[in-house]
Amino acid sequence: MRRVVRWSSRIPSRDSSLDTCTLLVIGAAGGVGSLAVQLAKRLTKMTVIGTASRDTTRDWVKKMGADHVVNHRENLPAQLAALGLKNVDAIFCCVGTDMHFETMAELIAPGGHIVSIVEPEQPLPMGKLFSKRASFSWEFMFSKSMYKTRDLASQQTILDRVADLLDEGVLTSTLTVDAGVLEPAALAEAHRTVASGKMVGKLAFRL
C-alpha cells in the first residue's frame, strides 16, 4: 500500500508492475480504507478485496471500486478461498491490528507486505511472518512532522498529488459526515460516531 501512495505522488501514468498483485484492505469502508481502495483500483489494475460487515458498508466498498467484498467479522481465509485465493500479495489494515494479525499472517503471500495504521494494544507475534519472509510496517500520518524526518517535504507532495487526482475526477471524496463547527460538544458527538464502529467514509469539521 505504501508503494501505491508513493507511486501516486510521483508518476502520472499507470504502473503495470502492480497489475497482477492482490490487495486486501481490512476496514475498507472507513475514510482511509475507502481512499486506499480507490488508489489501488484507479491507479493500477490490482485485484482489490475490501472488507465490510454490513449491507450499507458493503455497498460503499463496492462503490469505491473493490473487486470483491468480504466480511471481516467472519472467516476471512474461507471467504478468500471461495474467491479462489489462498494468499494475497499485500494487506492494508485499517481496523483492529491485534484482532486480525494472525489472520493476516495466514493470508499474506511469501514475500508479501502488511501495513497497518492502527496501534496495537498488545505486542504482536511477528515470528508468524518469519517463514514467509513477509514484512510489516506502520503508517502514521504525523510521523514526518513530529520527528522532522528527511522526507518531510514529501508529505506536501503526496497531498498535492491526491488533490490533483480529486480535481481530475480520478478519485472521489470519501466525506460523508459534516460534523459542523469544531467545538467541544461537536467533538464529543463525532467521537461517539466514530467509536460506534458504524462510520462509513470520512467525518470532517468546519473551522
107: closest CA among 127, 134, 126? Answer: 134
User: Cell numbers at residue 80, please?
Assistant: 478468500
Least Cα distance to 30 among 1, 7, 64 occurs for 64
pTM: 0.87
Q: What is the pLDDT of residues 67-82, one digit of tens each?
A: 999 999 999 999 999 9
Q: How far apart are CA 36 and CA 91, in angstroms?
A: 11
| Per-residue pLDDT tens over the stretch 155-180 | 888 888 888 988 999 988 888 888 88
DSSP alpha helix (H) spans, the chain:
2-10, 31-43, 55-64, 76-82, 97-107, 143-147, 153-167, 184-195
Given a cut of 50, the residues of the chain with pLDDT beneath it are: 1-13
For 128, residues 6+ apart whose C-beta sits below 8 A from its C-beta are 101, 102, 105
Q: Could you give the CA distance from residue 116 to residue 11 in angstroms, rounded to a whole number?
A: 24
* C-alpha cell, 160: 498535492
